[in-house]
């Protein structure tokens, strides 16, 4: 890091602390510089050490800045240990495609490894930047704490699983802006070259009148229940299949496609209706979520997004977006813009495509190193997450659900307390099965 950039970053962190100091009375950042032993180092804390957390931490360390991982936190010690083992491996070529390692950037001794539900509270104070990659049900809580402690933030999508969580994220997104805290959300298509180029040329298709979005594939992992697990531990291990933790796969994965349509539309839908259910994933191990959703979103100008996501092996696999305008159309996955006769009027050179997962970290840490306030992704991240939740509410209920009403719903899905003996709100019946939403019966508004 150059002396100029080093001084700039220190000033930025200092200024951020001063700005925050006018708003709250917990100036933690000055303490954080003690731990790395170097004021030039951008110190990172990882909150959530699963697969995505491991990948995000690696991408942060691979940015060109003087970055160091100084603290790790997870509910489970074995997850933390697996993550640490991966990050300190001698050769990461299987994951990065390039021989080498990042061992010199991992400075997490035993006393800075934290486990349990309150682990985040111990790790966040030690860093300049926090990576939030736990199951998304915890994101609003962790984001609030990171903003309170004046940290720059990378947080994965989705950023909540309920409207209550969305409201909390929006409140803290506004505070983060006031404090000039950079916040990047892992909706990585915003950092992908082809999408940026097509977005800059979207006027070539005129006004967008309709769109389609797909996330259809086989599905993801399943964790089987183990002997002596409490219900809380089982759900935390198998989090993808519980709404309070995951939000259903329409939130966890299909949000990427929905977000692209919102981005190109420049707004969010006003209502949704749809259908969904469980045709294949019917076992106890699949918790309470659906295996397919089909949602018709309507925007304020009357344009419609037809959105579909499916986790059923052996069916058509497609992850993509398609927008139709008054003058033409955009095929996002192909990087192509067409006129109404089907003639390509723009084709992105896919040889220039980047790795957006890496780019979002490169750009975030470059901004921090330069002392720039550049990223405020949290509000869009929250509203695109809410779009996915709106769709889930429509498919679970079978009703037309309006955005304004949905935003004020209190679902109360989370446990009252977070301990291993706490009982989640969704528990299995005597037969071991969980209650599943039933269209026409389940109500939200």
pLDDT tens digits, residue range 64-73? 999 999 999 9
What pLDDT, on a 0 to 100 scale, did the predictor assign at position 39?
Answer: 60
pLDDT tens digits, residue range 224-254? 999 999 999 999 999 999 999 999 999 999 9
* Residue 258, token pair as written in the block: 């929905």
Over residues 2-13, the mean pLDDT reads 45
Over residues 10-30, the mean pLDDT reads 38
Q: Confidence band (pLDDT; 50, 70, 90) for 179?
A: very high
What pLDDT, on a 0 to 100 scale, did the predictor assign at position 326?
Answer: 98
Question: How do strand 42-47 and strand 67-74 relate by DSSP bridges?
Answer: parallel
124-134 per-residue burial string, b: 16 or more CB within 10 A, e: under 16: bbbbbbbbbbb
Percent of the chain with pLDDT over 90: 88
Q: What is the DSSP string of 187-204?
A: -GGGG-HHHHHHHHTGGG
Over residues 279-299, the mean pLDDT reads 97
* Residue 278, token pair as written in the block: 């469980």
What value does the mean pLDDT of the chain take? Answer: 92
What pLDDT, on a 0 to 100 scale, did the predictor assign at position 444?
Answer: 82
Over residues 268-285, the mean pLDDT reads 97
Residues forming beta bridges with residue 214, ordered by sequence position:
308, 320
Query: Hunting for tokens 């006027």 — which residue is that?
Result: 203
Among 93-97, 99-103, 184-188, 256-260, where is mean pLDDT lowest? 93-97
What pLDDT, on a 0 to 100 scale, did the predictor assign at position 14?
Answer: 43
What pLDDT, on a 0 to 100 scale, did the predictor assign at position 2?
Answer: 41
pLDDT higher than 80, residue 31: no
Question: How do strand 271-277 and strand 208-217 relate by DSSP bridges?
Answer: unpaired
What pLDDT, on a 0 to 100 scale, did the predictor assign at position 192?
Answer: 98
* Residue 12, token pair as written in the block: 């930025």
What pLDDT, on a 0 to 100 scale, did the predictor assign at position 95?
Answer: 83
pLDDT tens digits, residue range 146-170? 999 999 999 999 999 999 999 999 9
What's the maximum distance between 2 C-alpha atoms anywhere in the chain? 65
Query: Hunting for tokens 């979103």 — which residue is that?
Result: 297
Q: What is the rounded CA–CA span in Å between residue 425 and residue 412?
A: 8
What pLDDT, on a 0 to 100 scale, did the predictor assign at position 445?
Answer: 72
pLDDT higher than 80, residue 17: no
Residue from 438, 385, 436, 51 nearest 246 by CA: 385
Q: What is the rounded CA–CA span in Å between residue 74 and residue 77?
A: 7
Q: How far is CA 271 from the centre of its chain?
A: 23
Among 5-9, 18-22, 214-218, 401-405, where is mean pLDDT lowest? 18-22
Residue from 120, 98, 112, 118 nearest 53 by CA: 120
pLDDT higher than 60, residue 171: yes
Q: Confidence band (pLDDT; 50, 70, 90) for 24?
A: very low
Residue from 142, 172, 155 nearest 24 by CA: 172
For the packed helices 3-21 and 29-36, what is the interaxial angle rounded to 10 degrees? 140
pLDDT higher than 80, residue 9: no
For the packed helices 51-61 and 77-87, what is the interaxial angle rounded to 10 degrees? 30
Q: Confidence band (pLDDT; 50, 70, 90) for 94?
A: confident
Q: What is the DSSP string of 34-63?
A: HHHS-TTSEEEEEE--SHHHHHHHHHHHTS
Question: How do strand 344-347 and strand 336-339 relate by DSSP bridges?
Answer: antiparallel
Please tell me whether residue 48 adopts helix, strand or coil conformation: coil
pLDDT tens digits, residue range 371-411? 999 999 999 999 999 999 999 999 999 999 999 999 999 99
Q: Confidence band (pLDDT; 50, 70, 90) for 93?
A: confident
Residue 358, CA distances (Å) to 61, 202, 266, 302 in order: 10, 25, 25, 37
Q: Confidence band (pLDDT; 50, 70, 90) for 99?
A: confident
pLDDT higher than 50, residue 23: no
């Amino acid at each position: 890091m150059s002396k100029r950039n080093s001084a700039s970053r220190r000033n930025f962190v200092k200024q951020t602390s001063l700005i925050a100091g006018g708003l709250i009375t917990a100036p933690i950042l000055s303490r954080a510089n003690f731990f790395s032993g170097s004021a030039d180092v951008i110190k990172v804390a990882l909150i959530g050490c699963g697969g995505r957390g491991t990948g995000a931490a690696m991408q942060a360390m691979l940015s060109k800045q003087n970055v160091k991982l100084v603290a790790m936190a997870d509910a489970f010690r074995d997850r933390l240990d697996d993550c640490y083992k991966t990050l300190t491996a001698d050769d990461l070529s299987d994951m990065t495609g390039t021989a080498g390692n990042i061992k010199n950037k991992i400075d997490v001794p035993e006393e800075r490894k934290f486990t349990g539900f309150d682990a985040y509270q111990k790790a966040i104070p030690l860093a300049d930047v926090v990576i939030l990659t736990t199951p998304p049900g915890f994101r609003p809580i962790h984001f609030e704490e990171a903003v309170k402690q004046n940290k720059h933030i990378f947080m994965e999508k989705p950023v909540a699983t309920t409207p209550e969580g969305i409201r909390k994220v929006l409140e803290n997104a506004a505070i983060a802006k006031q404090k000039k805290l950079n916040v990047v959300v892992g909706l990585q298509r915003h950092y992908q070259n082809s999408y940026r180029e097509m977005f800059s040329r979207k006027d070539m298709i005129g006004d967008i009148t309709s769109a389609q979005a797909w996330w259809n594939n086989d599905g993801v992992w399943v964790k089987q229940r183990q002997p002596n697990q409490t219900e809380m531990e089982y759900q935390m291990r198998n989090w993808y299949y519980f709404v309070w933790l995951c939000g259903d796969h329409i939130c966890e994965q299909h949000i990427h496609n929905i977000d692209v349509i919102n981005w190109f539309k420049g707004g969010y839908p006003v209502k949704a209706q749809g259908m969904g259910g469980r045709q294949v994933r019917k076992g106890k191990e699949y918790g309470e979520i659906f295996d397919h959703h089909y949602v018709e979103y309507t925007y304020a100008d009357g344009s419609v997004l037809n959105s579909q996501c499916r986790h059923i092996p052996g069916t058509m696999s497609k992850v993509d977006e398609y927008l139709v305008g008054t003058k033409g159309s955009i095929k996002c996955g192909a990087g192509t813009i067409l006129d109404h006769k089907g003639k390509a009027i723009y084709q992105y050179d896919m040889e220039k495509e980047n790795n957006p997962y890496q780019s979002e970290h490169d750009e975030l840490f470059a901004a921090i190193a330069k002392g720039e306030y550049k990223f405020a992704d949290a509000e869009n991240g929250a509203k695109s997450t809410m779009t996915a939740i709106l769709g889930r509410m429509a498919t679970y209920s079978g009703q037309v659900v309006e955005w304004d009403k949905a935003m004020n719903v209190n679902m109360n899905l989370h446990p009252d307390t977070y301990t291993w003996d706490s009982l989640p709100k969704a528990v299995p019946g005597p037969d071991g099965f969980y209650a599943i939403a039933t269209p026409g019966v389940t109500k939200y508004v």
